[in-house]
Every structure is written in C-alpha cells, then in structure tokens.
Amino acid sequence: MSASPSDSAEETAAVFPPTYVVMQFSRRTKTEALVWLVDKIRGKRRHGGSELLVRRQPHQEGEVRSTLVE
C-alpha cells in the first residue's frame, strides 16, 4: 500500500503535546548529585545532555526536593 501525499503531510504536521516530568529527591540526596543530573538534563546534546528545560521548586530545609523537567 502506498502513502498518499496527504498522509505524509499529516505525519509532518503531527506535534507532540508538551510533556512535564516531576522528579522528587530525598532530602539526603547530595547537592553534587543534583547539580550533575540537572547539568545532564539541561546540557547540549553534543556534550551528552538532553537540552530540556528544568525548574526547581523552592523548598525548606529538610523537605523533599522537587524538580520539573519540560
């Protein structure tokens, strides 16, 4: 079965909706580990990163740390 020109146009126009991931970390997670992870998520692909947006939720001392990845 061959694809019609309109089929390929529909595939090209398909857009994924925004996806959000919330990551929660133990209060015992070392800051160095969090910095490394965020650098990998935000970093350029050519340097091994994912080029995604990261937002950190403010937290009080002793609370679970939450990070939003877009």
Give the start-to-end residue ranges of the domains of the chain: 16-69
Averaged confidence pLDDT in the chain: 77
Question: What is this structure's pTM?
Answer: 0.59
Residue 12 has pLDDT above 70, yes or no: no
Per-residue pLDDT band for 25 (boundaries 50, 70, 90) equals confident
pLDDT above 90 for 44: yes
How many residues would you count in the chain? 70
Q: Concatenate the DSSP letters of all residues of 9-70 into one string.
A: HHHHH--PPP--EEEEE-TTS-HHHHHHHHHHHHS-GGGT-----EEE----TTSPEEEEE-
Residue 43 has pLDDT above 60, yes or no: yes
